[in-house]
Each structure stands twice: as C-alpha cells, then as structure tokens.
Amino acid sequence: MISPTDDDLMAAYAAGDGSAFDEIFRRYAPALLRALRRGSGGDEATDLLQQTFLQLHRSRADFARGSALRPWLFTIAINVKRQHLRRSARRRADLLGDDLDRVAAPTRRSAREDLDGIAALLAELPPAQRKVIELHFVDDLSFAQVAEVVGASIAAVRVRAHRGYVLLRQRFAEKMRTE
C-alpha cells in the first residue's frame, strides 16, 4: 500500500481526518524533538513539541497544497522555541554556561566526546550560522528548505553554511591541538 504524501495528510487533516494528524506526528515528532532538545532541557523540549503540534493544528488552514511540510513544521518549532527562550533568558544563560564548562573541562578523549565537542562548538557559532548548520547538518534539511525556514535566499544560506562549516573545522582543529 502506498503511504500518503505529506500534502495529502495535511489536506486530510484540514478536512477533519484526525488519523492524518497521528501520521504526521509519527513522521515528524522524533526529528522535531531532537531539534528542540538542543539548548533546552528534556521536559522543556517535550512541552515545546506539544506546543509545536498544537500550532500545527491551529495553522492547518494556512497550509498551502504543494508546500513542503517539513520546513513548515520546523519554522513553527523554531518560533515556539524562540518564544520560550525569551521567557526563560536566565535559564538559557545557565545552559550556555554548562556548554562552555563542557568544552573547557579536560576529559579523556573518545569518539563520542569528540562529537560532544563538535556539538559544543556548534553552540558557539554566530547564531545565523549555527541555525543554518543545525538545520542542514543535524536536521538534514536541504538548502532550499533551510532558506524557507530562516527566511533568507538560498544563496545567503549557502554562504552562511560555508562560513559556519569553515569556522567549525578551524575551531575543532584548534581544540584538538590544545588538548
């Protein structure tokens, strides 16, 4: 049996088919939860995911047929998370402090720790570059989809990604040398 496209699912959901919502949740909730967990606590991320899908429900009449659902949902998630971070700016500062502590602390190296280090270095990139790389590298969105999510041209997104990747490689190399 051919599984329905995102487009079909959203059309069905807008028409009142509740099972279409469940299928959309099954397809996208895991990736969204992982994206929302970056820089947020576990409980916060689950709350934010719930809010993201609540917003999907409220915005279902806005979804244009032929649009890509994935960047549409990620934009909602980013905006929901942004609102949340503004409300808890102090907590965000604490989390950033934790990230920096993790980078600074001397530890026994392992492949896993190297990649933890990359995640920490990613958190230190300029926000515009970090957002593009998170969406492209971690969330596996295409440059066109990333451009749609961040509201910039594809060319601008490519430039940001290129600069971000270069900076990330340089900083990771420096980090490896100093340890």
Partner 1 sequence: MGSNRIVVRETSPIGPEAEQADLEAIHVRLHGALAQERGVAATLRALPTQVRISVAGIAVALAVVLPRLFVSVGQGPSRWSGPAAVPAALYGTLLVALLWNALWPLHRPRSRVVEIVLVGAGLLIPFGLVDFAPGGACGLLRHLGYCFFIGSAVGWALLLLLRVLDRGDHQDRIVVWLAVGVASLATNLGLQFDCPETGAMHRLTCHATIGLALGLQYWAVIRWRETRGAGIAHP
Taking phi over 0 as left and psi of -120 to 50 as alpha, with beta for the rest, 33 belongs to alpha
State which of residues 9, 40, 72, 164 lies at the interface with partner 1 (CB under 8 A): 72
CB of 3 to partner 1, least distance (A): 19
What letter does residue 39 receive in the DSSP assignment?
T
Among 4, 34, 162, 169, binds partner 1 (CB under 8 A): 34
Which is closer to partner 1, CB of 2 or CB of 110?
A: 110
Of the pair 125, 150, the CB lying nearest partner 1 is at 150
Q: For residues 24 and 6, is the Cβ–Cβ distance under 8 A?
A: yes
Q: Toward partner 1, which CB reaches closer, 26 or 177? A: 26
CA distance 178 to 59: 49
One DSSP character per residue, 122-178 reads HHHS-HHHHHHHIIIIIS---HHHHHHHHTS-HHHHHHHHHHHHHHHHHHHHHHHHH
Token readout for 91 is 């907590």
- Measured from the CB of residue 163, what is the shortest distance to partner 1 in angstroms? 17
- Residue selected from 90, 105, 151, 178 as contacting partner 1 according to rule CB under 8 A: 151
Chain residues binding partner 1 by CB under 8 A are 21-22, 25, 29-30, 33-34, 37, 42, 46, 49-51, 53-55, 57-63, 72-73, 75-76, 78-80, 82-84, 86-87, 111-112, 115-116, 118-119, 137-138, 140, 149-151
